[in-house]
Amino acid sequence: MLSFIHNPNIINLRKHIFLAGLFLAIAFSSCRYMAVYLFTKKDITDDVKILYNKQKDRTLIVLPIIHLSKKGYYESVKNIIDSLRSEGYTFFYEGMDMQQGLDSIQAINYKRKLRKFLKVNLDFHKENLSLPSFYHSKYYIKQDYHKIGIIKEQDINIDLSLKAVIDSFETKYFEITLNDCDLNTDLNAKYQCKNNYARYRNSIIHEFRNPFLCQTILESKHQKLVIVYGKSHWMYIYPLLRDNGYELVQGKL
């Protein structure tokens, strides 16, 4: 067995995760279909990843979060975050916010450019009719950092701004043109403008943000880190972390 398995911090972490998962497993039942499974996943316990860098004696916990689910799922996230915070972990979290310094027209146009790829406006509120109907279901709630235990005044956002992502894409590929349909369709309305931007969706979501996330992790001086990030990012960041000395010691690939 590897020697760091006996590290008391890792043993304590496993205990916290197990207890949180055990409590919620009793309270919530499993789901049947994949789409429903994602939104109603009973808790995050099975998705938690523990990585260890032996050379740096550094523990990295990844919480791959779902952005829309049921109350019990987010309660499980908060239980783990609260426990890890009591153990002295530092928290990094996702958040592609709008860069400060833009006027209202510029900010809206960056959102319009993002919408060309995603076909929706990602602002989560009841007036936003561009989102699929299940986003407005009374059975689901959207991710709320405050309710899962993230303290924005204390924890660290390690994401690129929307402006940085769009500017990076335009520098590498091409300028994103807003046509009359884009400009005349309200951000909260159904988006029906025709374009072929969907093929670049992966670039917008992952290509620039994931390397930035990994570089920030690798440059961090914190010995005990927790990353709260969207579930889909894991498959991209793990190889980068693995190639830089992080070994997955608990959790599924």
Task: Answer yes or no: is pLDDT of 36 > 50.
Answer: no
Q: Tell me whether residue 231 is exposed, middle or buried, using C-beta atoms within 10 angstroms of its C-beta: 0 to 12, 13 to 18, 19 or more.
A: middle
Does pLDDT of 100 surpass 50? yes
Q: 69 or 171, which is more confident?
A: 171
Q: What is the pLDDT of residue 32?
A: 30
Residues 175-203, mean pLDDT to the nearest whole number: 96
Residue pair 124/131 in contact by the 8 Å Cβ criterion = yes
The yes-or-no verdict on residue 194 having pLDDT over 80 is yes
- pLDDT > 60? residue 227: yes
Q: Is the pLDDT at 13 greater than 70, yes or no?
A: no
Q: pLDDT by residue (tens digit) across 43-80?
A: 899 999 999 999 999 999 999 999 888 999 999 999 99
Give yes or no for residue 242 having a pLDDT over 90: yes
Prediction pTM value? 0.81
Instruction: Please state the φ and ψ torsions of residue 171, each to the nearest 5 degrees.
Output: -65, -40
Residue 216 has pLDDT above 70, yes or no: yes
Mean pLDDT of 9-31: 40
The per-residue DSSP string of 114-158 comes to HHHHHSS----STT-TTS-GGGG-TT-EE--TTTTT--TTTSEE-
Of the CA atoms within 13 Å of residue 235, those in its CB half-sphere come to 5
Ramachandran region, residue 9 (left: φ > 0; alpha: ψ -120 to 50; beta: rest)? alpha
Identify the residue with better confidence: 67 or 11.
67
State the average pLDDT for the chain.
85
The C-alpha atoms of residue 217 and residue 213 are separated, in whole angstroms, by: 6
- Which pLDDT belongs to residue 170? 98
